[in-house]
Amino acid sequence: MQNESTFFATLVEEQYAVQNIQLRSLSPYNFDWRGIYHVELGDHVSWVLRAFRQDKGENWLVKPAAMLLFLKELKHPAPRVVRTHSGEVVGVVNGWWTFMTTFIEGTLADSSIRSLRALAGRTAELHMLDLDRAASTTPPIQASWKHPQQAVPECLQLLDQLRDQVPSELQPFYDEVSATLERMQQASLPVTLIHGDCCPGNAVQTPDGDIVLIDWDGAGYGPPVLDIGSLLLTCHFDQPQFPLITPDPSLIAAVVEGYCQQRLLSQAELEILVDAVRFNSAFHFARNLQSILQDNWRENLGLQKLRIRYDVAEEIAVIARRRCEQLL
C-alpha cells in the first residue's frame, strides 16, 4: 500500500468531499488492515475515521454506527456519525469500509473521585435508555460483541481447541477462566444498551465539564453489569504500581455511588459481580491463548497482566457489592 497517511487522506477526501485535511493515527498498534485516525479539517473542526479492509472480515462498523445514530435521536451525549458525501453511514471504497464520527474535544477522563462519579452516572444513563425503542430503530442495534450469549461460545471453543496444549502449571487458571465464562453465559441478567469497553480511557471530559463516552466499537445490547465490572477494574489503572493493583475503596465507592444514583443493581447482578469484573480478563485470555502458548508463557507480560486483573477482581467486587447493599 502507498504511504499510509497519503492513502487514507485521499480516501477521506473522496468519500467525505473535503480537502486539505491532516491525519494523525490514534492507534498504538500498526496494522495493514485497519486504522483509526484523527482527521483535522481546519477551523477547529475534527473527525475520527475508522477504516477496515473488507477482506479481513464482516462489516462490524455497522454496530457502533447503529448505536450512535440512536443516541443522537435521543440526544444522549456521544460522538455523532458523519455520513459520506453520498449519505452512507458506512462507506465502501477501494476495498475498505469507512466509518466517520465527530471528534469530542476535551481531555481524557481520569480516576479522580469526581470523574469516576460522573462517568459511572453517564454509564447508568445509557443503561436506562429505552431498549424496546432501540430494537426497532433503523439500522437495528445488534448485540455487543461482549454479550455473553455471543462471546462466550466462541471463547469456550477457542479454549477447548487448545486444552491439550495447556501446561499443567497454567491449567488451574485455564479452568478458572472457563468457569467464569460459563457462569456469565448461564446467568439470567438484565439486558440494556451497553458501551462494551467502559473505562476512564474511553471517556472525555469536555471543556464545559461534561463526561462523554467515546470508542463505541463494542457497543450494542448486553448485560449492563459488564460495563460496571469493567469500570470497577479499570478505575485502578492509574495507580503508581500498575500493573499491580491494590483495590481502592474510595475509587470503588465513587463508581458505585455515581452509578446507583441513577440505577440500582439487581440481586442477580450483585451475585455475578465477581465474574463481571473478571470477564474482560477471561475474554482476552481465551482470545489470546494461542499466541500466549506460542511464546514463553511464563514471561508473557500480557498473561501476567491478565492474571493480576483476574485475581484482584474478587476483592474489588466484594467491596463494590458491600457498598451497593448499603445504598439499597
φ, ψ (nearest 5 deg) of residue 288:
-115, 5
Q: What's the longest Cα–Cα distance across the chain?
A: 60
- Whether 74 and 175 share a structural domain: no
| Percent of the chain with pLDDT strictly greater than 90 | 84
- Model pLDDT, residue 166: 97
Question: In whole angstroms, what is the distance from residue 174 CA to residue 310 CA?
Answer: 12
What CATH number has the domain bearing residue 206?
Answer: 3.90.1200.10
- Whether 189 and 91 share a structural domain: no
Who wins on pLDDT, 183 or 7? 183
- Whether 128 and 76 share a structural domain: no
- Model pLDDT, residue 27: 77
**Mode of pairing for the β-strands spanning 81-82 and 96-102:** antiparallel
Mean pLDDT along residues 11-35: 84
Question: In whole angstroms, what is the distance from residue 210 CA to residue 249 CA?
Answer: 24
* Residue 37 CB neighbour total at 10 angstroms: 23
pLDDT in tens, 237-253: 999 999 999 999 999 99
| Dihedral over alpha carbons 77, 82, 87, 93 (to 10 degrees) | -140
Where among 34, 68, 102 does a domain terminate? 102
Residue 274 has pLDDT above 80, yes or no: yes
- Whether 56 and 201 share a structural domain: no
Residue 29 has pLDDT above 70, yes or no: no
- What is the pLDDT of the chain when averaged over all its residues? 94
Question: In whole angstroms, what is the distance from residue 86 CA to residue 16 CA?
Answer: 8
CA distances from 320 to 47, 185, 264 (A): 37, 22, 12
- Whether 15 and 94 share a structural domain: yes
- Model pLDDT, residue 30: 65
Mean pLDDT along residues 278-282: 98
- Whether 64 and 83 share a structural domain: yes
- Whether 131 and 90 share a structural domain: no
pLDDT in tens, 297-314: 999 999 999 999 999 999
pLDDT band at 150 (very low <50, low <70, confident <90, very high): very high
Long-range contacts of 69-72 (CB under 8 A, 24+ apart): 69/137, 69/139, 70/134, 70/137, 70/141, 70/193, 71/129
CA distances from 327 to 20, 189, 260, 275 (A): 54, 20, 8, 21
- Whether 10 and 114 share a structural domain: no
- Whether 135 and 26 share a structural domain: no
- Model pLDDT, residue 4: 73
Who wins on pLDDT, 43 or 190? 190
If one counts the domains in the chain, the total is 2
What CATH number has the domain bearing residue 63?
Answer: 3.30.200.20
Domain range for residue 24? 4-102
Percentage helix, strand, coil for the chain under 3-state DSSP, each rounded to 5? 50, 15, 35
Who wins on pLDDT, 10 or 155? 155
- Whether 71 and 168 share a structural domain: no
- Whether 74 and 32 share a structural domain: yes
Residue 5 has pLDDT above 80, yes or no: no
Residue 1 has pLDDT above 50, yes or no: no
pLDDT in tens, 198-224: 999 999 999 999 999 999 999 999 999
Closest residue by Cα to residue 277 from 315, 249, 322: 315
Q: Is 0.85 surpassed by the pTM of this model?
A: yes
pLDDT in tens, 43-88: 888 999 999 998 887 888 999 999 999 999 999 999 999 999 999 9
